[in-house]
Amino acid sequence: MVERTVLAGARVVLPTGVVEDGRVTVEGRRIAANDSSEHATATGSATGSGGGRGRDEHATLDLSGHWIVPGFVDMHVHGGGGASFSAGDPEEALTAIRTHRAHGTTTMVASTVTGDLDDLARQAAVLSELTEQGDLAGIHFEGPFISPHRCGAHQPELLRDPHPADVRKLVDAARGAARMMTLAPELAGGLDSVRLLADHGVVAAVGHTDSSYEATLDAIEAGATVATHLFNAMPSLLHRAPGPIAALLEDERVTVELINDGTHLHPAVLELAFARAGADRVAFITDAMGAAGMSDGMYPLGPMSVEVKDGVARIADGPTAGSIAGSTLTLDTAFKRAVTIDKLTVEQAVRALSANPARLLGVADRVGSLEPGKDADLVVFDASYDLVGVMRKGEWVLRP
């Protein structure tokens, strides 16, 4: 008999809206029913808390006063828990994965940072195995095909133009696990590389770029569909030079990543982007590095050292010293900020944290919303929006 758990009494966030005093029924690793589907799928079965027989038997967990939202999907994250995906070590990658899971991220890609092409190919081989075994939703290559003028925390001497053959080399090294690549489309080979990625079903993301408004429109036309951490590592929005920000915000085909940690973006700017793009075209990401979920101190980011002070990560030395180097954000904090500081509704925040990135990564048939048949990936928050529970594939990572 498949184990059945009913989570009852909470405010449940469904694609159709918030259900007060809702119920989510978990059967094995999947969602069997939510409030709006209960009558259709469970007619004549559930007879009460633990009172039935056979498949009617279930445990009920009272979550009154809590929120149940879909498990979060992070499409841009480099590490956490002191561990980095760039290490090319499966155990270290799992440490990062577990750290973010405990903060509500039940699906994530592994983001790499700029490195030597052979190094990146080796990392990709390791990360593709973790993708195959279901721990990752794929790989996001960030660099080396990015602008030397906007390299942020990436090592300038390892940057290169996006020659399609090199882009292809990384995609092939990922053995089907490449989900996204961030590149600067204005570089030589940029548009051809965008087309190549789109042809291979890999999301082409515009980022770490010095692109103009017009050149960015060309990249979107060529198949780019994501803005990598919009506003960060690209020209600012100016009234006579709208640059990539205006182009990426206006096109309906583009989803914009936003880092909602209060350091990378002012809340007013985040709200402006949300108002322009709408709730279906924003994805909240962490862009977290190893220090996420840890205390202040020194941490590696690829081949570089990062100093974390008051939760803000900056490159410690070398030509890019002082640059913000990713974040120490986790998505439970991004959620709490969204609904307590950024004036977003819970539904808007949930779309940006779950449904939108799930759709982008091509996994929306399995995750991203609390619908029957999907994986039982969910996060429980108390009334103050503090995380109290995480379930992944029907198992509690953190029991409320």
Q: How far is the CB of 370 from Zn ion (least distance, A)?
A: 29
Length of the chain: 400
Sort residue 398 into left (φ over 0), alpha (ψ -120 to 50) or beta: beta
Q: What ranges make up the beta strands (E) of 28-89?
A: 30-34, 59-62, 67-70, 72-74, 79-80, 83-84
CB closer to Zn ion out of 61 and 283:
283
CB closer to Zn ion out of 92 and 287:
287
Q: How far is the CB of 228 from Zn ion (least distance, A)?
A: 7
Q: Using CB under 5 A, which of 142, 210, 251, 342 touches Zn ion?
A: 142
Residue written as token pair 């007013």: 268
How far, rounded to the nearest angstrom, does the alpha carbon of residue 293 sit from its chain's CA centroid?
16
The piece of 49-57, 137-145, 290-298, 355-363 that touches Zn ion (CB under 5 A) is: 137-145
Can you spell out the DSSP letters for 297-361? EEEEETTEEEEEETTEEEE-SSTTTT-B-SB---HHHHHHHHHHTS---HHHHHIIIIIHHHHHT
CB closer to Zn ion out of 142 and 186:
142
Q: Compute how many residues bind Zn ion; rule: CB under 5 A.
A: 2
| Residue 287 found at the interface with Zn ion (CB under 5 A) | yes
Whether residue 213 contacts residue 246, with contact meaning beta carbons closer than 8 Å, is answered with yes
| Residue 27 found at the interface with Zn ion (CB under 5 A) | no
The piece of 80-88, 129-137, 138-146, 379-387 that touches Zn ion (CB under 5 A) is: 138-146
CB closer to Zn ion out of 257 and 377:
257
Map residues 97-136 to x or -, x wherever contact with Zn ion holds by CB under 5 A.
----------------------------------------
The piece of 32-40, 275-283, 286-294, 306-314 that touches Zn ion (CB under 5 A) is: 286-294
CA dist 146 and 36 (Å) reads 46
Q: How far is the CB of 242 from Zn ion (least distance, A)?
A: 24
Map residues 217-256 to x or -, x wherever contact with Zn ion holds by CB under 5 A.
----------------------------------------
Token output for 170: 């990384």
CB closer to Zn ion out of 52 and 148:
148
Q: How far is the CB of 111 from Zn ion (least distance, A)?
A: 5
For the question of residue 287 being annotated catalytic, the response is yes
> Which is catalytic among the residues 287, 332, 342, 377?
287
Token output for 321: 């010293």
| Residue 261 found at the interface with Zn ion (CB under 5 A) | no
Q: How far is the CB of 78 from Zn ion (least distance, A)?
A: 6
* Torsional sign, CA 298, 300, 305, 311: negative
The piece of 86-94, 271-279, 287-295, 299-307 that touches Zn ion (CB under 5 A) is: 287-295
DSSP H helices, the chain, are 38-41, 90-101, 117-132, 164-173, 190-199, 213-222, 243-250, 267-277, 331-340, 346-350, 356-360
Strand 304-309: give its sheet, edge to edge: 297-301, 304-309, 312-315
Task: Calculate the alpha carbon distances from 116 to 54, 86, 113 in Å.
Answer: 57, 12, 10
User: Where along the sequence are the contacts to Zn ion (CB under 5 A)?
Assistant: 142, 287
Catalytic residues: 287
